[in-house]
Amino acid sequence: MSLENPAIQGITLYSHSDDFRCHWIRYVLAEKQIKYHLIMLDASDEDVASLNPYNQLPMLIENELKLFNTTIIAEYLDDRYRQNKLYADAPGPRAEQRQYIWRFEQDWLKLADVMLCHPDSLDQHAKIKAQQKLRDTLISLTPLFQHFPYFMSDSLSILDCMLAPIFLRLKSMGIELPPQHCRPIHLYCQRIFSRPAFMQSLTLQEKNRYKELLT
């Protein structure tokens, strides 16, 4: 099947089977109960380049619209499909959410990229530095998870959809958080991972790889 002519109307999501950015979008779709067609690919697939100049996943197509930036895809889905809103409607709170997303992208996601890159291109020294930096950051930010059931909120938001796939992969990154000191984060993870939509967002490969965290 040609990627330029998906054989289904509506949303088509091109996704890796185990990738935190792809998982972020799959989780948004699940929480918002949006039906879509999922096509599993590797970013190295030659066909991806025909649609995406950056040759990266996830990639979303709806009718003539083609999106390949994770943040833009997430915001589009929340604006296009109004049920189960994940972004704030008011300008101030929405700007705060966008700023948190930008900060997480610049800091946490870039560190995750270092730790989760392919073994053939893995820089062990850079990985150790990234592990230490992300671990120290999470420990210092533990109080942010203490007073609300979700990230600084009484209700699930886009920030939780972004963070949950990262937290699911902490062990794969080689990061262990102290159980007692980081108990609020551990409880937060249990709360998110037990949500039906989160389970629905997982691929079979993710369910098998992270099953000890999902029980």
141 pLDDT higher than 90:
yes
Task: Return the pLDDT at 1.
Answer: 40
> DSSP states of the chain as a string?
--TTS-SSSSEEEEE-SS-HHHHHHHHHHHHTT---EEEE--TT-GGGGGT-TT--S-EEEETTEEE--HHHHHHHHHHHS-SS--S-SSHHHHHHHHHHHHHHIIIIIHHHHHHHS-GGG--HHHHHHHHHHHHHHHHHTGGGGTSSSBTTBSS--HHHHHHHHHHHTTTTTT----TTTTHHHHHHHHHHHTSHHHHHH--HHHHHHTGGG--
Q: What is the pLDDT of residues 58-84, one digit of tens each?
A: 999 999 999 999 999 999 999 999 999
**pLDDT band at 53, cuts 50/70/90?**
confident
Fold of 91-213: Glutathione S-transferase Yfyf (Class Pi); Chain A, domain 2 (1.20.1050)
Percent pLDDT > 70 in the chain is: 95
Domain boundaries, the chain: 11-80, 91-213
The mean per-residue pLDDT over the stretch 190-194 comes to 97
Which CATH superfamily includes the segment(s) 11-80?
Glutaredoxin (3.40.30.10)
**pLDDT band at 9, cuts 50/70/90?**
low
The mean per-residue pLDDT over the stretch 16-40 comes to 97
The mean per-residue pLDDT over the stretch 130-154 comes to 96
Please tell me the pTM assigned to this model. 0.93
